[in-house]
Structure 1
């Protein structure tokens, strides 16, 4: 399994967001986590990237405990979280060039971003910024992709593009409010 949890529990104060959660995502599979606001969807992704420690239980990503501080871990796991950011002064073209140089891969600007490829990332719409974050996440080499509400700020065309992007990754864990997205891309759905 590329992503697994065993008896995972996260408590906030006296309340449990989730308790005893067992997950398993293998190569080529997509797990979509759904649930109401505050159910723990984003928290689960933060546990899978070790930005948050669980109260109890174990997490394994790519065969080891996650550690976002480890360069080896970051080379295998690509992530777009709610607070992911861009360099506001760099253009989409410059972002992808930097990404390509960092990971040793050439990445041209995709058609979905081409019309605004040379505009600073701080200037485009929220949907264009989201597309750039998502494209950058899948453009770099990775074994696991973690996406926190990737559909946020995307229009209908962007949602269609997103389903194609998710299909390009080896193993994916997505949290989402959009059940139609889950129905389109998920091999498994967990409702928190």
Structure 2
């Protein structure tokens, strides 16, 4: 598969398979195509060449059947600032931690906001998990929690693809490492 933006190939002749219960970590400097590949896996970026399947189907984030098996957190995912963490998780049909703060999301720190977004992605039902720099804004304790959650997702049979700049996270969760340069 390949993706070209203008005259520049971000991904060219890439062959990646991520079996159920494993994790592929995408590494590389900013601008090398890590997020672009995740967006292609979610059906938001067209390929220039080749084919891509996710859970046996062509990615299409508009398809309810696809959305039912793929959970995603992009680096630019956002919260509804006026909603509380409980309201966010309730909207996703998740009944989690009773100790969530009862304040609007805009009052949360960047690390708390990121963890709330991660909870939404990690705890909903999925067979495929796509995470774009999930460690961003997390402190050391939350990064260990994140690694444990990814390991648990793999243990439940999820195929995980994540982008990261965190070598410790890679060492803890990755079965395959793809350096996009």
Q: Distance in 2 between matches of 1:130 and 1:94?
A: 16
Q: Which has the higher strand share?
A: 1
* Deviant stretches of 4+, over 3 Å: none
- In structure 2, the partner of 1:77 is 70
Matching of residue 178 in structure 1 with residue 166 in structure 2: yes
Q: Residue 130 in 1 paired to residue 123 in 2?
A: no
The equivalent of 2:49 in structure 1 is 56
Greater relative CO, 1 or 2 (CA 8 Å, sep 6+): 2
Question: 1-side partners of 2:101 and 2:59: how far apart?
Answer: 34
Q: TM-score, normalised by structure 2?
A: 0.93
Is 1:109 aligned with 2:97? yes
Q: 1:3 is matched with which residue? A: none
Which SS does the other structure have where 1:84 is aligned? coil
Please show how residues 1-192 of structure 1 align to structure 2 within 5 Å: 8-100=1-93, 106-109=94-97, 114=99, 116-169=100-153, 170-192=158-180
Shift of 1:50: 1.1
- The CA distance in 2 between the partners of 1:70 and 1:122, in whole Å, is 31
SS at match of 1:138: helix
Residue by residue over 1:142-183, the C-alpha shift from the partner in whole angstroms, topping out at 9 and shown as x without a partner, is: 110000000000010110111011122211000011122111
Q: Which whole-Å CA distance do the structure 2 matches of 1:117 and 1:75 have between them?
A: 28
Q: 5+ residue gaps in structure 2?
A: none
Q: What CA distance in whole angstroms lies between the structure 2 residues aligned with 1:16 and 1:107?
A: 43
What's the TM-score once normalised by structure 1's chain length?
Answer: 0.88
Per-residue CA shift, 1:69-98, capped at 9, x if unaligned? 001100100000022111111111111112
**CA displacement, residues 79-125 of structure 1 (integer Å, 9 cap, x when unaligned):** 0002211111111111111211xxxxx52227xxx3x5211112101
SS of the residue corresponding to residue 189 of structure 1 reads: strand
Residue number in structure 2 paired with 1:4: none
**Aligned-pair CA distance for 1:139:** 1.3
Q: Which runs of 5+ in 1 are unaligned?
A: 1-7, 101-105
